[in-house]
Structure 1
Amino acid sequence: MSADSDPNQQNLDADEFEQALSEVERSLEALKERYAQVQRDQQRQAQLQHRREQIRQSPRQIRNQPALKAELRQIKEQLETIELNLESRLFSWSAFKEPFWQAVRFGGLGIVIGWLLKSCAG
């Protein structure tokens, strides 16, 4: 009897497929949520930048009011937070893990080869 005709093997394959499928669905949902968050952050960032420019273009007497200075500080802090959120969520360790270890591996290999060549030549 071959493994393809074994009902237990078929059930195992179906279970593995369903687990993989649900993992892909979870990843897709997380990606959709992240995309929506990025869209909201970019929209909020544009609004804050527009408001900051409005305040900066206002006459100096109005701009120097304590309430507007406080609003500018608050806008600056919010913009920094949004920029940090956008940057930190776009780049994660998992995205750099493979290239990082390849650079370490091949860089280390290059150093070892360099030492070997230097010792043979010198």
Structure 2
Amino acid sequence: MTSPPDPNRSPASNDTEDSDFESMLANVEKSLQALKQRHHQIQHDTERHAELTGQHEQLKKQLRRSKNPQLQAQLQTQLQKISQQLEELEIRLESTLMSWETLREPFWQAVRYGGLGIIIGWVLKSCSS
């Protein structure tokens, strides 16, 4: 069952509502795609982090057992490279977890309600004095 057309609603306003809805839907789809890509990147980085951590531990064990100075130098350079890669991955993982977009709403709510609380406190203090 369809409802009869609203005589107060013009076809032009219906078109703008449709285009607004379509643009909002396109934005949601774009955000969802970005979220999926980010999730995939986080999974990949987490797996790579675990792999590099294992390699780092193996190289440290080899370095402790090794008596050859040339081999020790090679192991040291490999350890440094892996450590640098681990640091980069950790930074990337931390930045994906903490961004301004995720903190914007709670931040402004804290500012808004914290400020409101301070103002109410001043008013109550001035009334009680």
- Normalized against structure 2, the TM-score is what? 0.80
Aligned to 2:27: 23
> How many Å separate the matches in 1 of 2:121 and 2:16?
50
Equivalent residue in structure 1 for 2:15, among 6, 11, 17 = 11
Residue 88 of structure 2 corresponds to residue 84 of structure 1 = no
Q: How many residues align?
A: 120
Question: 2:68 & 2:116 partners in 1: Cα distance?
Answer: 64
Question: What TM-score, normalized by structure 1, do the two folds share?
Answer: 0.84
Superposition deviation, residue 121 in structure 1: 4.9
2:67 aligned counterpart, secondary structure: helix
| Cα RMSD after superposing both structures | 2.1
How many percent identity over aligned positions? 45
Tell me, which stretches of 5 or more residues in structure 2 are unaligned? 1-6
Higher relative contact order (CA 8 A, sep 6+): 2
Task: Judge which range, 89-98 or 104-113, deviates more.
Answer: 104-113
Which aligned pairs between 1:27-106 and structure 2 lie closer than 5 A? 27-58=31-62, 59-61=65-67, 65-106=72-113
Q: CA–CA distance in 2 between the matches of 1:67 and 1:93? A: 41
Which consecutive aligned stretches of 4+ in structure 1 deviate over 6 angstroms post-superposition?
Answer: none
Greater shift in the superposed pair: 106-115 or 15-24: 106-115
Name the CA distance, whole Å, in 1 between partners of 2:30 and 2:38. Answer: 12
